[in-house]
Structure 1
Amino acid sequence: MTGRPTPVVLPPSLHPRLGLIAALAALVVVALGVLYAGHSEPGEVDRWIIQPTADTLRPPWRYVALALDFLGEPVGAATLVVAAVTGCLVLRRPRAAVLIVAGVGMTVGTGTLIKHLVGRTIHGDDNLSYPSGHTAFLTALALMVALLATGGLGLGRTAGTSLVLAAALVAGAAMGWAQVALGAHYPTDVLGGWCTALAVVPVTAWLVDRTADSVRREPH
């Protein structure tokens, strides 16, 4: 039994470009993971970026960084996810709500697994730093919201891809800046977190669509 078609969460026009971006992002995550596996010190790129900013963040920018950091903490992240899921349900987009939950879960889960596999630390042996989970989370959420906006607005391939990448860049840059400025992560940890979201979210969206379409096609 089929009903009224349910809007997809990964617009078909974006499949080729986002698929390529996801593959390239995955390669970056793996390459950086191999390069910094087991390290506990910043690399050359990290030193070049953090040298002028380490321990120099002062109010009001420190408050901005702390506020952004809070959005990646359990309470802040849960609040954002609940708000996004509620919005999807109010707009009668249950598949979109599933994407938000699945996308966040897959991104955070993948990042956590990579942390333990790579074993890079900062400020002590217990602080696994690669990739940045805060950056991965906020980037993933921004990506998914942009994907849903692309579908809802009926944007074409170029406009849709631009919106998705711009959202990912703004979210990743904002949270990445906060993490580096607060000394919570190295710049390459932030890049790894950003690329983790770029690699995971498109695949998750595709799987959500495939699974939902398969369920709808089954006889009842």
Structure 2
Amino acid sequence: MTGRPAPAVLPPSLRAWLGMIAALAVLVVVVVGGLYAGHGEPGRVDRWIIQPTADSVRPPWRHVALATDFLAEPAGAAMLVVAAVTGCLLLRRPRAAVLVVVGTGLTVGTTTLLKHLVGRTIHGPGNLSYPSGHTAFLTALALVLALVATGRLGLGRTAGASLVLGAALVAGAAMGWAQVALGAHYPTDVLGGWCTALAVIPGTAWLVDRIADRQADRMADAGRQARR
């Protein structure tokens, strides 16, 4: 009995690399949050990006933006999480199924907490905007699925890192564009949401593996004790 009932959700080859990425992401979230704490207007970077696009998104692209936005709304997010959990279980990746739920939940919870701490608003008081929870959610889900694919395919560090980062970039860019196009967030809010997912998911994946490994060791010890 090996004491490991399921494959690790965080591939060993990516642990150090993702750890560094997570640390850098935390720094970005803190620095950008500090710069815009209590603000209710776009910053210089936001104006540079928003001005040519804010009011120019018309059908059919507006429909695309709305459909993308729906993926991180409660109903859409629940559908994605259920589908991802089902897929992980069918692939016999129970740890990944746990990470889908816990990782995305912690990511969204972190963005909610940060919004109240930073206090940045858009379109008037009460509309907290930093960081973008929609961007954080879809990026977090993409990261988890990319980690599953990396482990499933047995990818090495370079290929695995490329897949994970690529998935995060595509998901973050898609949702970030939708949020800016719809006027729901500033571009720097999107950056904060993207980095929040990069900060939360690696640590959560490591924690899921650690808890699962300890549980497996306890079960193995109990089995050996029973056979004595």
* 2:226 alignment partner in structure 1: none
Task: Indicate the RMSD between aligned Cα atoms, in angstroms.
Answer: 1.0
Letter in 2 for 1:21: I
* 1:35 alignment partner in structure 2: 35
Q: How far apart are the structure 2 equivalents of 1:186 and 1:51?
A: 11
Task: Provide, for residues 97-140 of structure 1, a one-character-per-residue CA deviation record: whole Å limited to 9, x for no partner.
Answer: 00101101110111111011000000111110000000000000
Q: How far apart are the structure 2 equivalents of 1:162 and 1:96?
A: 19
Letter in 2 for 1:85: V
Larger Rg: 1 or 2?
A: 2
SS at match of 1:72: coil
Q: How far apart are the structure 2 equivalents of 1:93 and 1:11?
A: 13
* 1:179 alignment partner in structure 2: 179
Task: Provide, for residues 171-214 of structure 1, a one-character-per-residue CA deviation record: whole Å limited to 9, x for no partner.
Answer: 00000000000000000000000000000000000000000001
Q: How far apart are the structure 2 equivalents of 1:137 and 1:3?
A: 32
Q: How far apart are the structure 2 equivalents of 1:90 and 1:152?
A: 12
Query: Closer, same or farther in 2 for the Cα pair 1:4/1:111, shift >3 Å?
Result: closer
Q: How far apart are the structure 1 equivalents of 2:183 and 2:5?
A: 48
Q: How far apart are the structure 1 equivalents of 2:194 and 2:4?
A: 36
Gaps of 5+ in 1: none
Aligned identity (percent) is: 80
* 1:81 alignment partner in structure 2: 81
- Structure 1 residue 3: Cα displacement: 5.0
* 1:149 alignment partner in structure 2: 149
CA contact (8 A) 2:4 2:213 kept: no
Task: Provide, for residues 42-81 of structure 1, a one-character-per-residue CA deviation record: whole Å limited to 9, x for no partner.
Answer: 0000000000011111011000000000001000000000
* 2:127 alignment partner in structure 1: 127
* 1:94 alignment partner in structure 2: 94
Task: Provide, for residues 21-44 of structure 1, a one-character-per-residue CA deviation record: whole Å limited to 9, x for no partner.
Answer: 000000000001110000000000
Q: How far apart are the structure 2 equivalents of 1:43 and 1:32?
A: 11
Letter in 1 for 2:173: A
Letter in 2 for 1:76: G
Letter in 2 for 1:57: V
* 2:225 alignment partner in structure 1: none
Aligned positions, number? 220
* 1:65 alignment partner in structure 2: 65
Gaps of 5+ in 2: 223-228
- Structure 1 residue 4: Cα displacement: 5.8
* 2:137 alignment partner in structure 1: 137
Letter in 2 for 1:13: S
Letter in 1 for 2:179: Q
Task: Provide, for residues 121-175 of structure 1, a one-character-per-residue CA deviation record: whole Å limited to 9, x for no partner.
Answer: 0011111000000000000000000000000000000000000000000000000
SS at match of 1:53: coil
